[in-house]
Amino acid sequence: MTRTIAEINEKIRKGQAVVVTAEEVIDLVEKEGVEKAAQRVDVVTTGTFGPMCSSGAYFNLGHSKPRIKIGGGRAYLNDVPAYTGIAAVDIFLGATALPDDDPRNRIHPGAFNYGGGHVIEELVAGKDVRLAVSAYGTDCYPRKRMETWTNIKDMNEAVLFNIRNAYQNYNVAVNLSDKTLYTYMGVLKPNLGSANYSSAGQLSPLLNDPYYRTIGIGTRIFLGGGIGYVAWHGTQHNPNVPRSDKGVPTRGAGTLTVIGDLKQMKPQWLVGASMVGYGCTLTVGIGIPIPILSEEILRYTAVRDEEIFAPIVDYAEAYPQRSPEILGEASYGELKSGRIIVQEKEVLTASLSSYPKAVEIANTLKEWIVRGDFLLTEPVASLPGVEAGITFKPLKERPIEE
Amino acid sequence: MAISRRVVLHFPPRLVDQPIIYQLVKEHNLVLNILKASVTPNEEGLLILELSGAQKDYDQGIRYLQEVGVRIQSLGQNIVRNETRCTHCGACIAICPTGALALDPKTRLVNFLEDRCTACEICVLACPPRAMEVHF
Ligand code: SF4
Ligand code: SF4
């Protein structure tokens, strides 16, 4: 059985495409077998909704009268600093940016109530945001100061541009020390008091296409409640990790860079988040359609939580000290049961990524496709695969001699 | 007038083995629902109760507890979950000491069981989208 994306799109246009979610496909394959299921199903939709720190947005704010050169100056949106080292009225706001006067961890653990991710959520919600700018003034851009309300609808462009999202698998974080840890993986109770994980598992996009056979540069996706595209592989993309017999990575592996028009996204799918004692971030909703071009591709999408394993890592010692040591592996089936065994102790699990929301995303994308509102795209280039021989480099420090 | 209040009772070590709660129920006509209890030897005992009964009985019961030396903290505030902000991620499940935030294994939604919540506030900062709110 083989199928092309053009054929699938033809069926979508006619309203005849058969679309199931990456959760539904599991039962289908169980009942009908791979061969029959592959004949029937055209598209499998995936979804994930979790905190993704390497997210941000760039904006073109429009030119004031008289003009001001924000580029090279300072710009704040609701007191959160944006990056200005680009042209006059373009700025980039990162999800983890914090107001200059945030108490951070001065009193540990800091609350991190408001940051870049929250500004993005408010902009998407259509709220007015305070823009404060200081610049050095030039002949052609004379103004030095500006404070004004702004709104996403008044900007020329507002584009979500996330340089690392949708991690293909991730660590399970535990705490072997005797004090509570406040991490980007959430609050970790002492003495193996909790195990936090963050992946939609069997619904997660790259876990359903483990060798990047269909997801590539130019793939159209559900992004933040609107439409986006895969722009590149994400930072730290590292296909060369241990994999199960079925090819599923058992460590953090592939990642995606995604882009899309922020103006058509929804605040429900871009939620500002605060990690106590760590910082601010943005919870991003992503859904990716997988065209069933062959039986092999369908077989990958039928992966279930029990077959996907994640490494258990101590965030008291091993993670901060970059020691490669792991305490074992747990399947998402076990993690989702609420308890795993680590060092012979039963440990309660908690998830940072929302499974019910991932299901909702996969279902929304399915509806879009079934209704004929969302056509699939042919990737213009593949993501680097195992054969690319990427190695994940640590930072080697070299002393700077005076 | 019948009332229902949640209180946190701190028992100094010398009171831990006294039948205080028995007295509270018997002498003061109060109905109690134990939300949390932890007693460790040589340490303070902690009991979180929901006390219901007539206002008069409640006041007398509280006075009795104070007289025997139990320190009382009232849970005047309430923890409310902002349902539009909750993403049902589950980051709060393992840290909630009373099991008031619990995963429904079928729907995978996180249920907030208000009657088990002791308003300890641990979840307030630990919830990434800050869906758990303190209301007074
Ligand atoms: S941590 Fe917050 S958002 Fe997540 S399930 Fe608990 S209350 Fe809801
Ligand atoms: S305040 Fe939060 S953590 Fe504490 S008991 Fe209530 S729900 Fe659980």
Find the CATH number of the domain harbouring B47: 3.30.70.260
Locate A352 and state its tokens. Answer: 């940072």
Q: Please tell me whether the peptide bond between A66 and the residue prior to it is cis, using omega within 30 degrees of 0.
A: yes
The answer to whether A356 contacts B129, with C-beta atoms less than 8 Å apart, is no
Q: Are residues B116 and B68 in the same domain?
A: no
Kindly compute the dihedral angle of the four CA atoms of residues A378, A384, A387, A389, in this order, to the nearest 10 degrees. 170
HEC assignment per residue over chain B: CEEEEEEEEEECHHHCCCCHHHHHHHHHCCEEEEEEEECCCCCCEEEEEEEEEEHHHHHHHHHHHHHHCCEEEECCCEEEECCCCCCCCCCCCCCCCCCCEEECCCCCCEEECHHHCCCCCHHHHHCCCCCEEEEC
The answer to whether A306 touches A167, Cβ cutoff 8 Å, is: no
Residue B111: list chain A partners with CB under 8 A: none
pLDDT in tens, A286-319: 999 999 999 999 999 999 999 999 999 999 999 9
H or E, element range at A119: helix A116-124
Asked whether residue B76 carries a pLDDT value surpassing 60, the answer given is no
B88, B106, B125, best to mutate vs chain A, most A CBs in 10 Å: B125
Q: In chain A, which stretches have pLDDT less than 50?
A: none
Q: Which residues of A touch B126 (CB under 8 A)?
A: 186-187, 276
Q: Directed axis angle between helix B55-68 and helix B20-28, to 10°?
A: 150
CB contact under 8 A, A276 and B105: no
pLDDT digits (tens, 9 = 90+) for B18-32: 888 888 888 888 888
Q: How far apart are CA A274 and CA A281, in angstroms?
A: 6
User: Are A274 and B94 a contacting pair at CB < 8 A?
Assistant: no
As a whole number of angstroms, the distance between CA B17 and CA A262 comes to: 62
Report ipTM (2 d.p.): 0.93
pLDDT at A268: 97
DSSP per residue, A349-376: EEESS-HHHHHHHHHHHHHHHHTT----
Residue whose C-alpha is closest to residue B65's, from B18, B31, B117, B98? B18
User: Angle CA(A340)–CA(A343)–CA(A348) in degrees, nearest 5?
Assistant: 30
Domain boundary among B40, B61, B76: B76
Integer CA distances (angstroms), A350 to A173, A295, A337, A345, A373, in order = 10, 35, 10, 16, 36
A12 φ, ψ (degrees, to nearest 5): -60, -45
In the block, tokens 């279902």 appear at A363
Domain boundary among B76, B94, B125: B76
| Distance of CA A116 from the midpoint of ligand 2 (Å) | 28
CA distance A6 to B10: 70
Measured between CB atoms, which of A49, A276, A350 is closest to B87?
A: A49
- Structural domain boundaries of chain A? 56-160
CATH number at B121 reads 3.30.70.20
- Mean pLDDT for B54-79 is 82
Whether B87 and B72 map to the same domain: the answer is: no
CA of A381 to the centre of ligand 2 (A): 49
Distance of CA B82 to the CA centre of its chain: 20
Which bound ligand lies closest to the C-alpha atom of B124? Answer: 2
pLDDT at position B101 is 96
Q: Which residues line ligand 2 (CB under 6 A)?
A: B 79, 96, 98, 100-101, 117-123, 132
Give the pair of three-digit tokens for residue A118: 């929250």
Q: From the CB of residue A100, how many other CB atoms can be counted at a distance below 10 Å? A: 9
| Residue B42: pLDDT over 70 | no
What are the E-state strand segments in A242-359?
A: 256-261, 270-275, 279-287, 289-291, 309-314, 329-331, 339-342, 345-351
Q: CA A336 to CA A355: how far, in whole Å?
A: 10
Q: Is residue B55's pLDDT more than 90? A: no
More confident residue, B136 or A87: A87
> Is B100 in the same domain as B70?
no
Give yes or no: residues B65 and B87 share one domain: no
* β-bridge pairing A345-351 and A186-188: unpaired
The pTM is what? 0.88
Judged by CB atoms closer than 8 Å, whether chains meet at A356 and B88 is answered as yes
Instruction: Round to whole Å and give the CA distance between A204 and A45.
Output: 10
pLDDT confidence of residue B29: 86
Beta bridge partners of B77: none
Instruction: For residue A271, give the nearest of B87, B93, B125 by CB distance.
Output: B87
- Going by C-alpha positions, the residue among A285, A273, A272, A167 that lies closest to residue A225 is A285
Give the helix ranges, DSSP H, for A41-85: none
Spatial separation of the C-alpha atoms in residues A76 and A71, rounded to whole Å:
12
Domain assignment of residue B46, given as a range: 2-76
Cβ distance A333 to A165 under 8 Å?
no
Q: What is the mean pLDDT of residues B5-10?
A: 82
Burial of B15 (0-12, 13-18, 19+ CB in 10 A): middle
Three-state secondary structure call for residue A273: strand
pLDDT of B49: 84
Q: Are residues B96 and B70 part of one domain?
A: no
pLDDT at B77 over 70: no
Q: Rounded CA gap, B128 and B92, in Å?
A: 9
Of B28, B54, B76, at which residue does a domain stop?
A: B76
Please state the domain count of chain B. 2
Nearest residue of chain B to residue A271 (CA atoms):
B129
Q: Coil, helix or strand for A300?
A: helix
CB of B96 closer than 6 A to ligand 1? no
Mean of the pLDDT values across residues B87-110?
Answer: 94
Q: How many CA atoms lie within 13 A of B47 on its CB side?
A: 19
Same domain, B7 and B53: yes
- 3-state secondary structure at position A378: coil
pLDDT value of position B78? 82
Closest CB to A186 among B87, B108, B126: B126
B91 interface with A at CB cutoff 8 Å: yes
